[in-house]
Amino acid sequence: MMLTAYDPFAATNAAFRALDQLTGRTGTARQLSGMPMDAYRVGDKFVAHFDLPGVDPGSIDLSVEGTTLTVSAERSVPQLENAEWAVAERPYGAYTRQLVLGRSLDTDRLEASYHDGVLTVSIPVAEKARARKITVTRADVPAAVESRTIEGESGSAQGGTKAVES
């Protein structure tokens, strides 16, 4: 399974970090990354968690085009009357993150939930990409006399197979 994360602000963040180093600034007000992510595979599912604290769940949008998953959300600036801001470090506005998913995932069965500021996306591995057993028979002996089963994982990094006599 292949996962490629795309951060549209990566170059901008790098430029701001370099500027902050030159000027001695270390504040977080300049950081534009608003959607940190963890991703992993467990069993026959690929799971990604996106940190989106303070985001209205109604502003979250997920879409899949081909093998690209796009996650968008918006954190609104609080509308406070007569407030004089002393510090404004929390990022607000629209956030987008794109992931290029492996073709072995069944994006038609994608599930998403939002709880305690964390968006969880779960995508099952496609049936055709799951491990399966294949029976091999000898061409010169009837199938009822001798056969063996080969077990393997489709798309595994190891690429190994295991022969078992039956």
pLDDT digits (tens, 9 = 90+) for 39-49: 999 999 999 99
Give the domain extent around 141. Answer: 131-165
Taking 60 as the threshold, does the pLDDT of residue 146 lie above it? no
* 119 and 86, same domain (yes or no): yes
pTM exceeding the 0.95 threshold for the entire prediction: no
pLDDT in tens, 107-134: 999 999 999 999 999 999 987 766 777 8
The beta strand positions in the chain, using DSSP E, are: 3-6, 37-42, 45-51, 61-65, 68-75, 93-101, 111-115, 118-124, 132-137, 147-152, 161-165
In this predicted model, what pLDDT tens digit does every residue of 48-67 receive, in sequence order? 999 999 899 999 999 999 99
Half-sphere exposure of 7 (CA within 13 A, CB side): 13
Q: How confident is the model at residue 156 (pLDDT cuts 50, 70, 90)?
A: very low
Q: What is the pLDDT of residue 142?
A: 66
Does residue 100 sit in the same domain as residue 50? yes
- The answer, yes or no, to whether residue 162 has pLDDT greater than 60, is no
CATH number of the domain to which 14 belongs: 2.60.40.790
Q: Do 121 and 143 belong together in one domain? A: no
The answer to whether residues 123 and 135 belong to one domain is no
pLDDT tens digits, 56-105: 999 999 999 999 999 999 998 888 899 888 888 888 889 899 999 988 89
Looking at the structure, tell me whether residues 97 and 152 fall in a common domain: no
| Angle ∠(50,85,119) on CA atoms, nearest 5 | 10
Identify whether the C-beta of residue 30 lies closer than 8 Å to the C-beta of residue 20: yes
Shared-domain flag, residues 110 and 153: no
Query: 143 and 86, same structural domain?
Result: no
Return the pLDDT at 148: 60
Shared-domain flag, residues 40 and 118: yes
Residue 112 in contact with residue 71, Cβ under 8 Å?
A: no
Indicate if the pLDDT at residue 136 is higher than 80.
Answer: yes
Query: What is the rounded average pLDDT of the residues 144-153?
Result: 61
Nearest to 59 by CA among 74, 76, 79: 74
Claim to verify: residue 29 and residue 47 sit in the same structural domain: yes
